[in-house]
């Protein structure tokens, strides 16, 4: 019996698109090296200021000799730095103060929520990637050019890793399964009721009457709103037969349901739907002011049920 290994042919999501376990793709912009470097410098300055303040306090209390202040300062910088990165990213969902100022954040590469293990791992790897070779480089003197060159090469190799992968992940991100993105900016959709619509119904006689607006509820109104927004996107990309057929079917369905006798020309079908949406929305909002909430078109049958 022969076993055949099946190669995984699942395509990788493009850069900037994250696919969570639910399977719904999320378009996220991967943070560049410049903004990440700016956030890193900000965090280093903040932690360094805290370490210097503690060092001054220790020196003023006379707990150490002048010869050991540098060693104590380096230790304080390390003790403050590591918990700062881990605790801030845990508390602020993948953000430090520097990342918050630069509007970037850490996310899990597979779309799941960030775990404590991944955040601790990526920040401990940062010590090995950046801070340890930087400390060695600063502590070495001109008498040891080989060691200085090795430390400098170590830092350069670590900084080159984000340039060699599509998600700009450093070694810590690769090990922890994370990457850094620009924080999404929430955008409110334009209110359809504020958009001017040609009142086709009024032009052809009287507008929509009250009994014509009694057939639908909030669910149908939301469905119509989704259709109108989708059609606006399609209009920008260009008209097609499928879109026209959908609009025609919806218009005819509404006309039959509400008893609207006038035929709607093909060029005015979208305007008819917008006018009906505005009228239906105003009607439902008015009914809700009187304490009557209509969830869908079956509201009347629900009220009569025992």
Q: What's the pLDDT score for residue 152?
A: 80
Per-residue model confidence as pLDDT tens digits over 204-222: 444 788 888 888 888 888 8
Give the CA distances from residue 98 to residues 36, 70, 91, 114, 129, in Å, rounded to whole numbers and listed in that order.
9, 26, 14, 19, 19
Greatest Cα-to-Cα distance within the chain, rounded to the nearest angstrom: 96
Alpha-carbon distance 92 to 33, whole Å?
21
Per-residue model confidence as pLDDT tens digits over 250-296: 999 998 888 888 888 888 888 899 888 888 888 888 888 777 877 77
**Paired residues of 26 in beta bridges:** 18
Q: Is residue 196 scored above 90 in pLDDT?
A: no
Distance from CA of residue 156 to its chain's centroid?
31
Q: Where would I find the H helices in the chain?
A: 33-61, 69-91, 97-102, 116-126, 132-139, 145-160, 171-176, 200-203, 218-237, 241-258, 269-289, 299-304
Both tokens of residue 295?
Answer: 């969830």
Per-residue model confidence as pLDDT tens digits over 109-149: 887 889 999 999 999 999 888 888 877 777 666 566 777 77
- Please say whether the beta carbons of 62 and 70 come within 8 A: no
Both tokens of residue 216?
Answer: 């639908």
**Of residues 92, 98, 86, the one with CA closest to residue 44:** 98
Q: What's the pLDDT score for residue 102?
A: 94
Antiparallel, parallel or unpaired: β 26-27 and 17-18? antiparallel
Q: What's the pLDDT score for residue 95?
A: 95
């Amino acid at each position: 019996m022969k076993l055949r290994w099946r190669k995984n042919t699942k395509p990788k999501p493009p850069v900037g698109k994250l696919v969570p376990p639910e399977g719904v793709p999320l378009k996220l912009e991967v943070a560049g090296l410049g903004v990440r470097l700016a956030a890193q410098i900000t965090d280093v300055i903040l932690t360094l200021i805290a370490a210097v303040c503690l060092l001054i306090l220790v020196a003023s209390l006379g707990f150490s000799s002048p010869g050991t202040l540098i060693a104590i300062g380096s230790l304080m910088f390390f003790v403050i730095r590591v918990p700062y990165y881990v605790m801030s990213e845990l508390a602020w969902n993948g953000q430090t103060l520097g990342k918050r100022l630069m509007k970037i954040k850490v996310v899990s590469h597979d779309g799941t929520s960030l775990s404590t293990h991944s955040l601790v791992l990526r920040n401990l790897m940062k010590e090995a990637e950046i801070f340890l070779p930087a400390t060695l480089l600063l502590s070495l003197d001109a008498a040891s050019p080989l060691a200085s060159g090795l430390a400098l090469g170590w830092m350069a190799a670590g900084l080159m890793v984000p340039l060699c992968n599509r998600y700009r992940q450093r070694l810590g991100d690769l090990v922890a399964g994370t990457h850094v993105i620009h924080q999404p900016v929430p955008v409110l959709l334009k209110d359809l009721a504020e958009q001017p619509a040609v009142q086709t119904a009024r032009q052809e006689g009287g507008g929509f009457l009250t009994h014509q607006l009694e057939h639908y509820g909030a669910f149908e109104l939301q469905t119509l709103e989704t259709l109108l927004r989708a059609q606006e996107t399609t209009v920008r990309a260009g008209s097609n037969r499928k879109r026209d057929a959908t609009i025609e079917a919806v218009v005819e369905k509404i006309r039959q349901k509400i008893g609207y006798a006038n035929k709607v020309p093909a060029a005015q079908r979208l305007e008819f739907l917008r006018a009906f949406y505005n009228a239906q929305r105003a009607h439902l909002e008015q009914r809700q002011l009187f304490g009557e909430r209509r969830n869908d078109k079956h509201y009347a049958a629900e009220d009569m049920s025992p």
